[in-house]
Structure 1
Amino acid sequence: MADKSSARTTHRAPGRRRLAPGIALGVLLVGALAGIGAANSLRANAPAEAAATPPKAYSTALPFDLPPAAELRRSDKLVFAHYFTPYPLSLDNEPADRDYYARNYLTPDGEKGRHQAYGGLLRDRPLPTAPEAGDWELAHLRQEVRTARDAGLDGFTLDLLSETGRNRDRAELLLRAAHEEDPGFRIQLMPDMTALTSATPAGLADSLAQLAKSPSAHRLPDGRLVVSPFKAEEKEPDWWRRMMGELEARHGIRTALVPLFLDFTPERDVYAAISHGLSEWGARSAGRQAGAAADAERAHRLGKIWMQPVSVQDARPNQGVYDEAGNTETLRASWGAAIDSGADWVQLTTWNDYSEGTHVAPSLHNGYAYLDLSSYYLTRFKTGAWPKILRDTLYLTSRVQFADDLPPPARQPQVIRPREGTADPRDTVEVLSFLTAPADIRTRTGDTESGYLAPSGVHAQLFPLRTGHSAATVVRAGATTTKVTSRYPVRRPVDKQDLQYYAVTSGRSQR
């Protein structure tokens, strides 16, 4: 069942204004990542047609061959990622060591000390990209569409935070970017009712109708516009019925409503009469995925499709809470719930909400690791068959601090605590191996070396967290086939809390 306490909070991102150079954030290690950022920055005028096959560099980074986009899109099962407009690749097109993220979101002193109490708004950021010439915002949004498309996703669920202003402008630009980059990439409209609390049925209908003019707006084969309101329970079913009536009467748009609830309790069944499908925001720890089968069965019994949430983790400095994700355990468990429950659609929660630490998009601290893992599970979800492992690949995850370590109160007065009901905090390094055949895996955590025989297929092994770096190497018949080393060390003491799990994969170049 959904966790009521997982509700979103929003933060207003800066507008289009140019920002004067500010404080350089040394901890970003941007120089070490310049190669990654440059490689990830593509031309604004890249071909618009959908790729027949994933780019070679992307495919060889995975332990399996990702099917062509055209093959994945033949499936009736759809996979979206929740796009949060306040956190695009860049907010000002400045170099990453002095851009708005570096100066204002990742440092306690940013935005005139607004986030000082909790050590800064964010702990991670989008993977740095080089500044773009021309219409850089459009170029960056096209890049995000490419990245999601190349990973096998069908589209984004677009969080609509306002009917005017900067976030609205970015929402409109994302629809344009999707159509220009890949006409098959779908943008599912998700009015956020935690933000649009004063909206009227007619006003929201008019706002959605403007966005629905884009060919990228997600429609069903029968032409109905898919609208999936976030926290749909904020309004009664009759309110949504009137909104849909306004859309049809005033704009000629028929609606397929897929309400998303923060808490999918039995009383939400009254929404079924006006809905095409049902969904929930979901819980963010592995042990709380057990209700997925019952939720999907309930939706299907009501004659509706079910959109299952899939998540990596959740850590919110500004709210002072985090969920214990258990390395990649929550990601694997929530994907397993989507597969085993017979869900029709999946929503990755989220693509890029860095303020909640829930992102799967390529980031400074995680690279592509979580997105690459999702490509494996979404292939099973969409095709019905587990992909064959062709390349030994390791995914290494850990925090960069111990869960109980606290910073000096003067540095971070507001402490981040485990959310009530989440799993017990743990201090572990996880080696998640994808092997073509059994092999020895030699590990190092801090100064301690160890090893074990790993089976073929997918296997997770845990080790105690220790200060310093961690590493793992696959050895078969005396030869090393692949290896991985953490890019960020575990440190004591800490200046501020950082409860997210950092990830790295052997499938991609480590710089």
Structure 2
Amino acid sequence: MLSTVGRMLLATISAWIALGQTSCAGDRISPPKMVFAHYMVCCPANGLGATVEDFEREIATARSYGLDGFALNVPGWSREPHYLAISRRIFAAAERSAPSFRLFLSFDDAPVDDSATMLLELSASSAYLRVEGRPVVSTYSGTPEWGGSLRKRLSSSGVKPFLVPNYQYPTDKFWSRNYSRPTAQFLDDLFREHPDIDGYFVFGPDLGYAKPPTDGPLVAARSKLADKLSMIGISPYYRGLRGNFRVFESGGFQGMAAQWTAAIESGANWIEIVTWNDWGESTYVAPYGDIRRQDLWNYHWGSLLSHEAFLKASRYYIDWFKSSRRPSIDHPSIYYFYRPHPKSAYGIASPETGEQGRPKGWENLVDCICVSTFLPRPLTVDVTVGGHRQSTTMPAGVQHYSFEMFEGPVIIKVMDQGRPIAEKQLEFPITKLGQMGNFNYFAGEIALP
């Protein structure tokens, strides 16, 4: 799709060379721009027994899409030793097959002792991400007291972590307010009162594509003012399960594209795709087999739908972010995103019990077949759903369009100045049954000459 592959390869190599000798402007740390994915160590696609070879294949896939590494999400491991065992295998895979692929730990409410023990062991790996020789440490939520305790615990070993946390609380006092959506005052106070913090990671991206993203640009701006690093979370979609049975509309890829654009234009240092493999909250972008496959871990998370096209469409923005230039588009690409049922259907709240219902926020969903195009020249997209035909000409560049949803099979045709060049019947028809898609998006691609 892009003409910048060679230039991006050179830029990536240069960036990794520069990583070990980070430049500074005054006290400001300026590592190369990198894109990571948040990896749930609890949930490898091949199960808890996933091998080093399995992780090598996952890393190869991530690299093929331009990712620079994984942030490994881990809670305490002393009660659940598989977290450390799996992390060791992931590090072994990176060391063996991908010298430039970097890993770092993102602690999820982990006890300080567990965190310190794990970091001391794994940061010795050549695959561990370092800035100015210091191992990068991130978090999901947490407080500055946790970070201070971790630093103190590590000091006797001569290890000083490079902290880029997602602290959502200013203190560990029980009355402390949650700042899952940070404010300027919260960030300014955090950086001023805790100078040992090296940057900030905003985990929960803006959800609800109709509004322009604001959290990422705010974090990037306030971090820059404080001479700190910013890491912006970007998510394709969200639909939880069980007690967290809620959903947010993304307009297909349009919401993710808006997050990418806002992060790029705000001058963020790093980006973290949230997530690689959180199957339960539907934020995953990782492929896990045939595009029609739905039975990962024997339906442990219910029926899943492929999200790989979210990752494919993101490649344009990954290249843009790293090069600071909008890539030229030499080959056309067309991606489609849709729920295979209307929002009025009933889904499965809990895969264990089969409890049915609609997720919180279902009424704000949009029933549509969403198409995103990356085109060097205009092409006409013709969508027929259950016998209802709709057509529009998509201009050159990056465009998003929503076609009305009806019940029945979905067929997309693509025409170049009236000449048919591609036709595809999509993988799943639109039905009244919500259990199959369960308020998730299916994402696919039209093969074009």
Q: What TM-score bracket applies, with the shorter chain setting the length?
A: 0.7 to 0.9
- What is the one-letter code of the residue matched to 2:373? S
Task: Name 1:215's counterpart in structure 2.
Answer: 126
1:324-335 → structure 2 map (5 Å cutoff): 324-335=249-260
Residues 1:88 and 2:11 are matched in the alignment:
no
Name the aligned partner's letter for residue 240 of structure 1.
G
The answer on 1:192 being equivalent to 2:192 is no
Residue number in structure 1 paired with 2:171: none
Residue 231 of structure 1: which of 118, 125, 141 is its match? Answer: 141
The root-mean-square deviation of aligned C-alpha atoms, in Å, is 2.5
CA contact (8 A) 2:201 2:232 kept: yes
1:289 to 185, 209, 213: 213
Structure 1 counterpart SS, 2:150: helix
Give SS of 2:414's match. Answer: strand
Q: 1:158, 1:146 → 2: CA distance? A: 16
More strand by share: 2
**Deviation by residue 1:159-199 (Cα, 9 ceiling, x = unmatched):** 01232411221111111111111111010211111xx2xx2
Note closer, same or farther for the CA distance 1:305–1:423 as it changes in structure 2 (3 Å cut).
farther
Per-residue CA deviation, residues 381-406 of structure 1 (Å, 9 max, x unaligned), is 11011222122221011101111212
Aligned length: 394
SS of the aligned residue for 1:292 comes to helix
2:357 aligned residue (415, 425, 433):
415
Q: Which runs of 5+ in 1 are unaligned?
A: 1-61, 94-135
**Paired residue for 2:12?**
72
Classify the secondary structure of the residue corresponding to 1:274. coil
Alignment correspondent of 1:137: 51
CA contact (8 A) 2:137 2:163 kept: yes
Give the letter for the 1:192 counterpart: D
Kept after mapping to 2: 8 A contact 1:72/1:152: no
Q: Which amino acid aligns with 2:118?
A: S
Name the residue aligned to 2:264.
339
Contact map agreement 2:347 2:435 (CA 8 A) in 1: yes
- Sort the Cα spacing of 1:497 and 1:444 in 2 relative to 1 into closer, same or farther, 3 A: closer
Instruction: Structure 2: state its 5+ residue gaps.
Output: 16-31, 169-179, 294-304
**Over residues 92-118 of structure 1, what are the superposed CA-to-partner deviations in whole Å (9 max), with x where a residue is unaligned?**
78xxxxxxxxxxxxxxxxxxxxxxxxx
Q: What does residue range 8-407 of structure 1 map to in structure 2 within 5 Å?
A: 62=1, 66-67=5-6, 68-75=8-15, 76-91=32-47, 137-164=51-78, 165-193=81-109, 196=110, 199-200=111-112, 202-220=113-131, 222-233=132-143, 237-249=144-156, 251-262=157-168, 263=180, 264-265=182-183, 266-272=185-191, 273-282=195-204, 283-286=206-209, 287=211, 289-318=213-242, 319-363=244-288, 364=293, 365-366=305-306, 368-406=308-346
Write out per-residue CA displacement over residues 7-54 of structure 1, whole angstroms, 9 at most, x where no aligned residue. xxxxxxxxxxxxxxxxxxxxxxxxxxxxxxxxxxxxxxxxxxxxxxxx
Secondary structure at the counterpart of residue 306 of structure 1:
strand
* TM-score for the superposition, normalised by structure 2: 0.81
Measure, in 2, the Cα distance between the counterparts of 1:367 and 1:324.
Answer: 15
Deviations 1:411-444 (A, max 9, x none): 843534234xx99211111121222211222221
Q: Is it true that 1:436 corresponds to 2:376 in the alignment?
A: yes
Aligned counterparts of 2:89 and 2:446: Cα–Cα separation in 1: 35
Distance 1:355 1:408, change over 3 A: closer
Deviation at 1:507, TM superposition (A): 4.0
Alpha carbons of 1:329 and 1:478: their partners in 2 closer, same or farther (altered >3 Å)? closer
Q: Give the counterpart letter for 1:169 in structure 2.
A: A
Match of 1:56 in 2: none
Larger RCO, structure (CA 8 Å, separation 6 or more): 1
1:82 and 1:342 map into 2 onto residues whose CA distance is 20
For residues 52 and 432 of structure 2, the distance between their equivalents in structure 1, rounded to whole angstroms, comes to 42
Question: Distance in 2 between the 1:137 and 1:452 partners?
Answer: 47
Using the alignment, how far apart are the partners of 1:423 and 1:213 within structure 2?
A: 50
Counterparts of 2:348 and 2:106 in 1: how far apart (Å)? Answer: 40
- Is 1:189–1:218's contact at 8 Å kept on the other side of the alignment? no
Identity of counterpart residues, as a percentage?
25
Aligned to 2:389: 449
Q: Secondary structure at the match of 1:152?
A: coil
Say if 2:431 is the partner of 1:491. Answer: yes
In structure 2, the CA distance between the partners of 1:485 and 1:395, relative to structure 1 (3 Å rule), is: farther
SS at structure 2 position matched to 1:460: strand
Rounded to whole Å, the distance in 1 between the matches of 2:435 and 2:148 is 51
